[in-house]
Structure formats: structure tokens, C-alpha cells
Amino acid sequence: MIIDYPTLKIIWWLLVGVLLVGFAIMDGHDMGVGTLLPFVGKNDTERRVIINTVGPHWDGNQVWFITGGGAIFAAWPIVYATAFSGFYWAMLAVLWALFFRPVGFDYRSKIDNPTWRKTWDWGLFIGGAVPPLIFGVAFGNLLQGVPFHFDSTLVPYYTGSFWGLLNPFALLAGVVSTAMITFHGAIYLAHRTEGAIQARSIRAAQIFGVLMVVGFTFAGLWIANGSFGYAITSAIDPSALPNPMAKLVAREPGAWFANYRQAPLTMLVPALAYAGALAALWLVTKRRTLAAFVASAFAIVGVIGTAGVSMFPFVMPSSTDPQFSLTVWDAVSSHLTLTIMFWATIIFMPIIVMYTSWAYKVMAGKVTTAYIRENEHSAY
């Protein structure tokens, strides 16, 4: 089946969204658990319980991140090139924070020494807290526009600094993202544990859930009253060969609300963020943890979806040279590559979901202190 180029460009915007949301839901709950580890686990056994709730799964979940990166490379190569090189130090901070996870999980409990174990606990904290914080900050900067331009051969130049990324709005976006991921992780932890750990997880979920809702609202109000937003002012030919320098773009405050005005149905996306978060808060308080986990997953779809829908068709607006902004129409791969990647995703994604579900089913049930005692040598 041949899908035409404009449709594929839209499909790929959706698929990148699916992969990012998949990453946030799957790897996100592991990261949330990592962030909570030093605070919810009061002693070594409790911490081992916490780590072992994600022990068999974190590795598979992390592949959402790697595949997401690969898919952006394949489908939006110039976005991958511009964003990764422009956000150089931010990306390295994510990378170096991620270093602590594989070794933290696998090495921590292999040596029975309190200092060793506590060090890795904080390593897992860094690996859990830093990536969502930086991804939030990155989204905050995308919404405002990023200082970059191209020369005539499409070499990207980033003209901002690392510290420039840490502006107030971006930090707010970072807080929303970290709160969202920690909320989700806390609910997962409540689902897989019992007793005191579960009670503390529920309290953490309540705190971070409220923080997320408040932060998300604040960010929305900021955009409504702030000065950002971009709009394409020239005619768009969705089937044109991608050339990010061929259009005209204006900086237009309030433009990030244009899509909601034009297609009011899209307001369901931010509504989903609220509905999911509030439902998850209520359900986790009632100890209906599995339903709460599903609800907070929907909240994640809503939050990330809101950022995406607000900016559509922009992916990475340029603040210094808006006409060089990268959009779903002009930052994509060739028709052939998008087609191949589409089929690869459509074939393999359901298979991945199937065996991942099976893995969770095999390992289902509460992780308890008794389990840790019985599996002294094999558990994390």
C-alpha cells in the first residue's frame, strides 16, 4: 500500500508522539521510582523492594527512549541533528545521568556495603530525576523557540548557550515534566508494594499529582499571557520536498492557541491531561492502584499531546530566524524512508507490546521484604 507524502508526514508526527508518550509511560515510571527511591525507602531492605518492582523491566522500558531517538533520526533527521547538537550540554547531562541506571540497578546489591549501596541509590535518583527534568526544560524551550539557523548547505548553527536554556518558563516546564513522571512512578510503586512503602508512595503520588496539575495550569496561563507562538505566513505545500528554508514564519503571541480555536475538538487533549491526572489522584487515594496507573498514563498522553497540538505543525521553531523553523512539512525524511519506517513501526510495535505485557504478567504481584530475603543472591 502506498501512502501519499503529506499523509505520511502527519502520521510521522503522530508516531513520534506515540514513541515519546510510550517512553514517558514505560521508562517514565521506572524513572519516577528511581527519583522516589532515597525518600520512600527508609532502609536497605525497603530500597531493595522498591528497586525490584522495576528490576525485571527497566531495561526493556529504556528501549522506548533509544527507539524514540532512532525514529527521530530516521524520520526527522534535521531535527535530530539540530536539536542534539544545539542542546549539546543538556543532552550530555541526560546521557551521563542515564549512565547511573544500568550500573545502579545491576551493581548496587551485588556488594553488601552500606556506603556502596547508598551511593548507587543516589545514582538511581539522578538517573530518574535528571532526564525528565531536562526533557521538560527542552520542551519549554521548544515552545519559546530556540536560537538556531542554517547556512546555504543546511549546516545547523546554534547561537544560544546552555544557561540560556534554563529560563523561568523552561524551568516551569521541567517541573511539570518531573512531577508528571514522579507521580506516575509513585502510583506504579503503590501498585507493586504493600504496607509502609505503599502508604508513603501514595502520599508521594498525591503531592506530585497536585504539583503536576498546578504546574500544567500555570504553564498554560503563561503561554496565554506570554509572548510566544509562531505561525507560518506563506502558503504551505504539504507534498513539497522538505526544505526548511522555503517558507515565511512570523512570531505571533497567542499562536499556540490557534489550533484549539480552529479545531475545538483538539481541546480534548488538554482536557485529557486534567481528567487523567484528577482521576489518578482520586483512584490512588482509594488504593485502586492499577486503575490509577492507567489514568496517569492518560494524563501523560494529555500533557505531551498538549505541547504537540499547541505547536503543530512546528516541531522546533527558531527564535532568531523564524523562517528556518523546523516543521512536520519540511524537516522530514524522503517519502521512501518514511514509508519503510512506517511499516517497520506498524509491524513491530504490536509485537513489542505483546511480549512486554507477557513479561509484566510473569512478574506480576507485590514485591515484598520476604521476596528479597528469599532471593538474596539473585534479586537486585
Partner 1 sequence: MLSEQLVDLSRLQFAATAMYHFLFVPLTIGMVWMLVIMESAYVMTGKLVYKDMTRFWGKLFGINFALGVTTGITLEFQFGTNWAYYSHYVGDIFGAPLAIEGLMAFFLESTFIGLFFFGWDRLSKQQHLLVTILMAVGTNLSALWILIANGWMQNPVGSEFSYETMRMEMTNFWTVVFNPVAQGKFVHTVSAGYVTGAMFVLSISAWYLLRGRDTEFAKRSFRIAAAFGFASVCSVIVLGDESGYALGEAQQTKLAAMEAMWETEPAPASFNLIAIPNEEEMKNDFAIHIPWAMGIIGTRSFDKELPGLNDILAKNRERIVTGVEAVKLLERLRADPTDLALRDAFDQVKADLGFGLLLKKYVASMDEVTPELIDRAARDTIPRVTPLFWTFRIMVALGFAMLALFGLALWYSVKGDFAERRWLLWWALLFLPMPWISCEMGWFVAEYGRQPWTIYGVLPTHLSVSTLTVNSLYGSLAGFVGFYTLLLIVEMYLMIKFARQGPGSLGTGRYMNETAHA
Which residues ranging from 219 to 258 are in contact with partner 1 (CB under 8 A)? 241-243
DSSP of 165-190: H--HHHHHHHHHHHHHHHHHHHHHHH
Instruction: Pick the binder of partner 1 from 349, 366, 368, 369 (CB under 8 A).
Output: 349
The gap from C-alpha 98 to its chain's centroid, in whole angstroms, comes to 14
Answer yes or no whether residue 105 interacts with partner 1 by CB under 8 A: yes
Task: Please name the residue that has the C-alpha cell 526548511.
Answer: 244
Q: Where are the alpha helices (DSSP H) in the chain?
A: 5-40, 44-54, 58-75, 77-86, 88-107, 114-144, 162-165, 168-192, 195-225, 258-262, 268-285, 289-311, 335-362, 369-374
> Where in 85-104 is the site for partner 1 (CB under 8 A)?
85, 88-89, 91-92, 95-96, 98-99, 101-103
The 35-64 site mask, x for binding partner 1 (CB under 8 A), equals --------------------xxxxxx-xx-
154 binds partner 1 (CB under 8 A): yes
Separation CA 143–CA 138 (nearest Å): 9
Instruction: Please report how close the Cβ of residue 91 comes to partner 1 at its closest, in angstroms.
Output: 5
Helix (H, G, I), strand (E, B) or coil at 263: coil
Decide whether 92 or 250 has the Cβ nearer to partner 1. Answer: 92
Stretch that binds partner 1, among 181-189, 227-235, 256-264, 354-362 (CB under 8 A): 354-362
**Residue in 7, 39, 45, 111 binding partner 1, rule: CB under 8 A:** 111
Count, residues near partner 1 per rule CB under 8 A: 71
Q: Residue 14, interface with partner 1 (CB under 8 A)?
A: no
CA pseudo-torsion sign 222, 224, 226, 228: positive
Footprint (CB under 8 A) of partner 1, residues 287-346: 333-334, 336-337, 340-341, 344-345
- Is position 158 an interface residue for partner 1 (rule: CB under 8 A)? yes
Task: Kindly state the helix (H) or strand (E) to which residue 230 belongs, with its residue range.
Answer: strand 230-232
